[in-house]
A and B are shown apart, each in its own frame.
Chain A
Amino acid sequence: MKSRVPITVAAAALVFFAGYAALFIAPDERTMHEIQRIFYFHLGSWAAMFTALTIAFIANIAWLVTRQPRWDWLGVSSVEVGVAACTAGLITGVLWGKPAWGIWWTWDPRLTTCFILWILYISYLILRGLIEEPQRRATLSAIFGIFAFLDAPLVYASNRLWVGQHPSPVIMGGKDSGLDPAMGRVLLVAVVTMTVMMLIVLVDRYRLERLRHELDELRLAAESGSSSPKPLAAKELL
């Protein structure tokens, strides 16, 4: 546990600096003023979510190809962390929507596709809880995870394809889009901070899944009366 102290201190410093930069370094936006500063946490949450769900998507495919348990552990861990980041993104969106639009929520294409994504991955986690047999659980959830990920590019493209309440993209959104360079730097700090935090949580969540697997093996060994359970093969561990 001692080795985690530098990481925890570095993460805390990063979180503090990202908050300071968003509140005090980023320039004031002309129309929305201080409320626009939610943007840094809001986009940071989505960046963390997209990273986590992309890892889950790769892990789901890798499980179907290799059938190595570590990919299933990585898949479910990334989905759970991605759902947490998606929840943060939705909450910040709602808290931005009320002062900016006068309403907490609207069924705009971007908001709707995000909400569907959130529901899909919560369904993924519920589905896993309903299947007892590990191989079947891993395969079905990998297939469902790949299907759920189809909504992710749709979320990205939704405010490019359809007109809605949500603002047009400010990054890679065409010739009329763009971000003040100072805002861009603060945004980069926020995105890096939230992605790093997501990865730290993901490592812990992966350890949990691996330990759960080891415990199941140990339980099986205890039930069969053996005092030396078969250890995990080195290739099964990440």
Chain B
Amino acid sequence: MKNFHFLFAAWVAVWAVFFVYELSVASRLSRLRAEMDSLKRQLKE
């Protein structure tokens, strides 16, 4: 098991890339939704 740390790092790296990317998409989505809601409110006023 002398190379286990490489295997572990690869496994973590793959899911970290997907997870961080999905987090970035989700945060951009919620920012846009908030912006849209505020713009809609402004238009109604």
List residues of A whose CB falls within 8 A of some B CB: 15, 19, 22-23, 33-35, 37-38, 41-42, 44-45, 81, 84-85, 87-88, 91-92, 95-96, 98-99, 194, 197-198, 200-201, 204-205, 207-208, 211-212, 214-215, 218-219, 221-222, 227, 229
Contact = CB atoms under 8 A, between A and B. Distances in A.
B18 to A, nearest CB: 6
A88 B14 contact: yes
A95 B15 contact: no
Given A91-B14, A201-B22, A204-B22, A211 B43 contact: no
Interface of chain B: mostly helix, strand, loop or mixed: helix
Contacts of B10: 38, 41-42, 91-92, 95-96
Interface string B1-21: 101101101110111011001
Nearest to A41: B14
A31 B25 CA distance: 41
Contacts of B25: 201, 204-205, 208
Interface residues of B, number: 28
A201 B13 CA distance: 17
Contacts of A23: 7, 11
Contacts of B17: 84-85, 87-88, 91
A201 B7 CA distance: 25
Contacts of B1: 34
Interface of B: 1, 3-4, 6-7, 9-11, 13-15, 17-18, 21-22, 25-26, 28-29, 32-33, 35-36, 39-40, 42-44
Q: Top 6 closest A-B pairs, CB basis?
A: A35-B3, A88-B17, A95-B10, A99-B3, A84-B21, A38-B10
B20 to A, nearest CB: 9
A211 B32 CA distance: 7
Nearest to A203: B25
A11 to B, nearest CB: 10
A208 B18 contact: no
A219 B38 CA distance: 11
Contacts of B35: 215
Given A33-B3, A37-B7, A222-B39, 16 more contacts: A15-B15, A34-B7, A38-B6, A41-B14, A45-B14, A91-B13, A91-B14, A95-B6, A95-B9, A201-B22, A204-B26, A205-B25, A211-B29, A219-B39, A222-B42, A222-B43
Contacts of B42: 222
A92 B7 CA distance: 9
